[in-house]
């Protein structure tokens, strides 16, 4: 399908709990309006809870699954490099299901002109937010001179974000960064990055509340070893005032995330972003709409979820895809419940066998007992 006829038609999509999800398509407004007044309030509300961008994890099948668990959380794509957008298969890289809204695209890059072009292309796919990655510490990303190493060059980050805001035609542009890298002092390092971002016209700043050590630590170690400093993010919010500031890093449960968002000597934050916890124990997403958006508490309809995912997986297989492209994101469901181990085993092993049917999802579900979760299962 060509880019010209790929523009996603906005519509209302019923999520797993029966409420309608709006398209999330941002209205066309000026860059100043995008970070001020009603537009800012709307962005902040939609961003109270987000599932973090995670390479190899938050693909379109993962996001579709997560959307069945929460109708309100903002879902992020994996990071997609600007060069890939400019020269790659656009439908494979940028296509998504309308049901995923609100959904944000994360771009990687350090060339303002290329990021401007990539943002322009992404607009035709209907994303609700475009985000720049200034936090990934991997060697591969560093070799391309983007990701966390850009913390050392806030002026370049500002130029990149300004180009993206110019191209975005009012769709919110944000940045996700670290506290700093290597020997940087996280006080001035984060402030310098944030000031450039605000001057560029971004709608928000997401901060992973750790430094990144680009030499000596692996990407996995950089998610765990550098100490967390949520208070530093709160100090940034207190200094900036109105602009949206959200926090990521070390958040394990909804209660923990809510406490980090609301409490602290420097005041409250605007949003929280969970990564591994949301992916590895996706059941927690069923509580997001009530905990962060004031929706009524209600029991979750797992039967409906399973039927929705069977139908979705069947469509993917019929189109030539593999069953485990979908089911690999579902293995963490039911963690702590009786039968969870067999669920994981069937979805991990059974779905890779030749001729495996989406009915295997139903078969695995029949082995699960929906009792309160415990650590024993």
pLDDT digits (tens, 9 = 90+) for 268-290: 999 999 999 999 999 999 999 99
DSSP H or E run through 274: strand 271-274
Q: Which of 62, 136, 149, 177 is labelled catalytic? A: 136
Rounded to whole angstroms, the Cα distance separating 55 from 40 reads 28
Report how far residue 334's alpha carbon sits from residue 283's, in angstroms, rounded to the nearest whole number.
Answer: 7
Query: Cα(164)–Cα(80) distance, rounded to whole angstroms?
Result: 14
User: Is 62 a residue of the active site?
Assistant: no
Q: What are phi and psi of 181, to 5 degrees?
A: -135, 150
Find out whether 236 and 207 touch, Cβ atoms under 8 Å.
yes
pLDDT in tens, 71-121: 999 999 999 999 999 999 999 999 999 999 999 999 999 999 999 999 999
| SS3 label, residue 244 | strand
Residue whose token pair is 């995330």: 257
What tokens were used for 374? Answer: 């415990």
The burial class, CB within 10 Å (0-12 / 13-18 / 19+), for 373 is middle
pLDDT value at position 17? 35
Report d(CA 99, CA 275) in Å as an integer. Answer: 20
pLDDT, position 36: 54
Residue 205, Cβ neighbours under 10 Å: how many?
Answer: 25
Expressed in percent and rounded to 5, the helix, strand and coil fractions of the chain are 45, 10, 40
- Check if the beta carbon of residue 118 is closer than 8 Å to that of residue 82: yes
Tokens standing for residue 331: 């293995």
pTM score: 0.87
pLDDT digits (tens, 9 = 90+) for 144-179: 678 999 999 999 999 999 999 999 999 999 999 999
Q: Residue 138: its pLDDT value, please? A: 76
| 83, two tokens | 């060069």
The span from the CA of 212 to the CA of 248, in Å, is: 13
16: helix, strand or coil = coil
Q: What is the pLDDT of residue 6?
A: 29
* Coil vs helix vs strand at 273: strand
Residue ranges in the chain whose pLDDT is less than 50: 1-35, 375-377
């Amino acid at each position: 399908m060509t880019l010209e006829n790929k523009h996603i038609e906005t519509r209302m999509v019923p999520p797993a709990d029966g409420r309608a999800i709006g398209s999330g398509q941002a209205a066309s407004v000026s860059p100043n309006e995008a970070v001020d007044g009603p537009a800012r309030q709307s962005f902040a509300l939609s961003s109270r809870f987000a599932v973090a961008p995670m390479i190899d994890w938050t693909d379109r099948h993962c996001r579709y699954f997560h959307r069945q668990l929460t109708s309100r959380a903002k879902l992020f794509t994996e990071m997609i490099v600007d060069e890939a957008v400019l020269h790659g298969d656009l439908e494979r890289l940028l296509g998504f299901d309308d049901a995923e809204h609100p959904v944000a695209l994360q771009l990687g890059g350090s060339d303002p002109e290329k990021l401007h072009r990539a943002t322009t292309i992404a607009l035709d796919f209907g994303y609700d937010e475009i985000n720049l990655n200034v936090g990934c510490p991997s060697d591969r990303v560093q070799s391309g001179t983007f990701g966390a190493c850009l913390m050392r060059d806030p002026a370049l980050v500002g130029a990149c974000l300004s180009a993206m805001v110019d191209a975005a035609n009012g769709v919110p542009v944000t940045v996700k960064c670290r506290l700093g890298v290597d020997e940087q002092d996280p006080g001035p390092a984060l402030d310098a990055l944030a000031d450039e971002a605000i001057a560029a016209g971004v709608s928000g700043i997401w901060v992973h509340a750790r430094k990144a050590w680009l030499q000596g630590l692996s990407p996995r170690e950089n998610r765990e070893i550098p100490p967390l400093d949520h208070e530093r993010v709160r100090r940034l919010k207190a200094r900036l005032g109105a602009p949206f500031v959200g926090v990521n890093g070390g958040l394990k449960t909804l209660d923990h995330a809510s406490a980090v968002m609301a409490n602290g000597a420097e005041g409250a934050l605007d949003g929280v972003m969970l990564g591994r916890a949301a992916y590895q124990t996706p059941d927690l997403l069923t509580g997001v709409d009530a905990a962060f958006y004031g929706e009524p508490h209600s029991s979750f309809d797992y039967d409906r979820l399973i039927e929705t995912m069977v139908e979705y997986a069947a469509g993917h297989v019929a189109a030539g895809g593999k069953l485990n492209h979908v089911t690999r994101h579902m293995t963490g469901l039911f963690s702590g419940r009786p039968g969870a181990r067999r669920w994981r085993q069937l979805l991990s092993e059974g779905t890779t066998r030749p001729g495996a049917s989406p009915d295997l999802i139903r078969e695995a579900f029949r082995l699960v007992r929906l009792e309160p979760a415990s650590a024993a299962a």
